[in-house]
Amino acid sequence: MKFHLSFLILFTINITNIWGQSFTSVTERSGLNKSIHSNGIAVADYDLDGDLDVYIVGSDPYDPQKEITWNRFYSNNGNGTFSEVTEGANIRGGVTSPEKGSMGNQFGAAWGDYDNDGDPDLFLTNYGYNVLYNNNGNRTFTDITESAGVKGREDDHNSSACWWDYDLDGDLDLYVSAWFGENILYENLGDGIFTDVTEAAGLGDAGFTWSSVPIDANNDRLPDLYVVNDFGANTFYVNLGDKTFAEATEQFGLMDVGNGMGVDIGDYNNDGLFDIYLTNISSLFHCPLFENQGNGIFIDKAKDVGVSDAGWAWGTEFFDFDHDGGLDLYVVNGFESEPGNNFFFYNLLESDILESNFRKAFFWNVSEVSGANTGEEARSLVTFDYDDDGDLDLVVGNWWTMPQLFENQSQTKNWLKIELEGTVSNRNAFGATVSITCGEKKYYRSNDGIDFLGQSVLPLHFGVANAEMIDSVNVVWPTGESELITDVAINQTIKIIEREGLVTGVKQAKKLTPQPEFSLLGNYPNPFNGAAHIEFNLPEASLVQFKVMNILGHEIYSQTLSAKAGRNHISWQGRNMIGSPVGSGLYFYSITFKSNMQLTGKLLHIK
């Protein structure tokens, strides 16, 4: 609790002044505006052209005469826009449910390469029968549900699906969660055939499941399974290594009896252990953050780190939005009786907003100034780099209105994206983990693709702060074999193939339009006594606004100056507007160009 008090006293600042809006809605411009009444969203490069495509599931009962009820599939044009290709690709879904469901009739979409042929296939969950589409490799799909044996039961409300290799035989099996009914585990037998092994495996959970996520919770290289249930207790199943599982929820410390909905896996404190964040209805049950202790035990740290209250929470994702190396957290929110804004929690672990002696894994609620705190009643969420510029954007599925695509405006620091391709393991390498080393820093990612009511096939994304080179990338494949690659350049997408190593350093970030070279070159000395000097680049001659704020967010100094194109210099003498010296302490400054572009930094004054 000491950190909470000191943080609130020292750093309760006007975050609008020093943080700025980080996301902009580009839904209309992008073309993702035909879908209304959405449930799940899933993303993959279905045509292998290098751009990520988006499938959006409609929630209403399917009616071929009403477009509002159709699922929509959008192909990425590679220029910041999407084109709808649902009919041409033949993946509308089109399953008629027995009756109207209270939580929707069409639920989830899960991408996964079940036949290891190199292109992602698509599984859809519904109230009633499910659908499996095989990717034909020519931008079309074929419904193979009946022959594959994954149709399910007519009366089940199948909420989500999880592709995973539970038996580590090199192909993807399928776990189907039911919000009403019993969950089903299908084992992949090869040749496009699956068989129901639920009873034999011991995974027949019937707890009103919204989400399920694989995680190796005891570090034995076997994928365990956490099942998130709406009414009653969640269940954790430990993999025994013989195609069976044992319930071990209390043993692992993963008890939660709230209205579980969404879940995500991430190493929020950068200790090399994967933690679990779970969404509930916060007014009834807080949202737990189960911190992995490394000994088969998890401890709920949500209240300690500031993420226990996220409203009526649904989909959630860990992601490093500004590439500082710390995983931030986004949670979508709302229900008909309690609509609310989405939550954006900024992780201060690696942020340079705080001095190093104050840094720890603690989340700062920056929802109001993020530009992504929509008040729509939301359900699903995927974080992905839609415009391939290196940073992660957000697509949010809304229940009553069109989805929202939020473009990341941070454009800060360095990054790396890694595509994995299994050869002995499943082609998507679901179940692999990756760590990268940059000097003394190390960052970790788990490759599962799980979203709320969806599963996506995406590159793993790392922010690496100001690192100028990745010292090493270490991949641990689902088989347990590891692969080490050294001296990798920053700000690119690389591809690693199992047992072949780095085969391509293939793709630099692209920009949709030329970006102005408005950049901060640094401030010195820092700490300072007497005068601080700030340097910045400007793309053209212009007036700029320079402001200094104290830690309470109060503006103490401002200046408008005429700056030239190229390198510019500002000096601040450590005085306020009436010329009086300021006291020792931490100060924040901003430089604003053309009223809508802003750079921020910090200064430590010592007298």
pLDDT, residue 131, reads: 98
pLDDT, residue 5, reads: 40
pLDDT in tens, 448-490: 999 999 999 999 999 999 999 999 999 999 999 999 999 999 9
Q: How wide is the angle at C-alpha 444 spanned by C-alphas 281 and 357, nearest 5°? A: 85
pLDDT, residue 12, reads: 45
- Work out the average pLDDT over 422-430: 98
pLDDT, residue 357, reads: 53
pLDDT, residue 410, reads: 83
pLDDT, residue 355, reads: 55
pLDDT, residue 437, reads: 98
Longest CA–CA span in the chain (Å) reads 81
CA count, 13 A, side-chain hemisphere, 362: 16
Q: Is pLDDT of 7 > 70?
A: no
Closest-CA residue to 401 (of 71, 64, 94, 58): 58
Q: Coil, helix or strand for 356?
A: helix
CA distance 363 to 377: 24
1 falls in which pLDDT band (50, 70, 90)?
Answer: very low
Q: Coil, helix or strand for 443?
A: strand
pLDDT, residue 598, reads: 79
Closest-CA residue to 226 (of 181, 186, 177, 192): 177
**For the chain, what percent of residues have pLDDT higher than 90?**
69
CA count, 13 A, side-chain hemisphere, 115: 17
pLDDT, residue 562, reads: 86
Q: Is pLDDT of 301 > 80?
A: yes
Q: Name the helix (H) or strand (E) containing 199.
A: helix 198-201
pLDDT in tens, 23-50: 999 999 999 988 888 999 999 999 999 9
**Strands 106-112 vs 454-455: parallel, antiparallel or unpaired:** parallel
User: Which string of DSSP letters, residue by residue, matches 30-78?
Assistant: HT--S--SEEEEEEE-TT-SSS-EEEEEE-SPP-TT-GGGS-EEEEE-S
Burial of 284 (0-12, 13-18, 19+ CB in 10 A): exposed
User: At residue 12, what are phi and psi to the nearest 5 degrees?
Assistant: -80, 90
**Distance of CA 301 to CAs 215, 218, 307, 328, 413, Å?**
18, 19, 9, 15, 29
pLDDT in tens, 519-545: 777 777 777 788 888 888 888 888 999
Q: Is pLDDT of 74 > 90?
A: yes
Q: Which residue in the block uniquely carries the two structure tokens 């399917």? A: 62
Q: Which residue in the block uniquely carries the two structure tokens 């350093």? A: 505
CA distance 214 to 173: 12
Least confident of 78-82, 100-104, 343-347: 100-104
Closest-CA residue to 245 (of 210, 264, 263, 220): 220
Q: Coil, helix or strand for 145?
A: helix
More confident residue, 161 or 511: 161
- Token readout for 510 is 């692209």
pLDDT, residue 512, reads: 42
CA distance 390 to 280: 31
Q: Write 130-137 long-range contacts (CB < 8 A, 24+).
A: 130/95, 130/158, 130/161, 130/176, 131/93, 131/95, 133/90, 133/91, 134/192, 135/46
3 falls in which pLDDT band (50, 70, 90)?
Answer: very low
pLDDT in tens, 341-360: 999 999 999 876 655 555 56
- Work out the average pLDDT over 236-252: 98
340 falls in which pLDDT band (50, 70, 90)?
Answer: confident
pLDDT in tens, 105-116: 999 999 999 999
CA distance 127 to 96: 9
CA distance 532 to 121: 57
pLDDT, residue 183, reads: 98
pLDDT in tens, 308-336: 999 999 999 999 999 999 999 999 998 87
- Token readout for 542 is 């212009």
Closest-CA residue to 454 (of 173, 98, 106): 106
Average pLDDT, the chain: 90
Paired strand residues for 138: none
- Work out the average pLDDT over 283-297: 95
273: CB partners within 8 A, 6+ apart: 267, 291, 292, 293, 294
CA distance 157 to 39: 13
Q: Coil, helix or strand for 67?
A: helix
More confident residue, 65 or 504: 65
- Token readout for 101 is 């469901």
Most confident segment among 64-78, 141-155, 506-520: 141-155
Burial of 102 (0-12, 13-18, 19+ CB in 10 A): exposed
Closest-CA residue to 306 (of 256, 348, 352): 348
Q: Is pLDDT of 6 > 50?
A: no
- Work out the average pLDDT over 418-426: 97
Q: How many Cβ atoms are within 10 Å of 253's Cβ, its own excluded?
A: 17
CA distance 1 to 16: 26
CA distance 359 to 351: 8
- Work out the average pLDDT over 553-566: 87
Q: Is pLDDT of 14 > 50?
A: no
14: CB partners within 8 A, 6+ apart: 549, 552, 553, 554
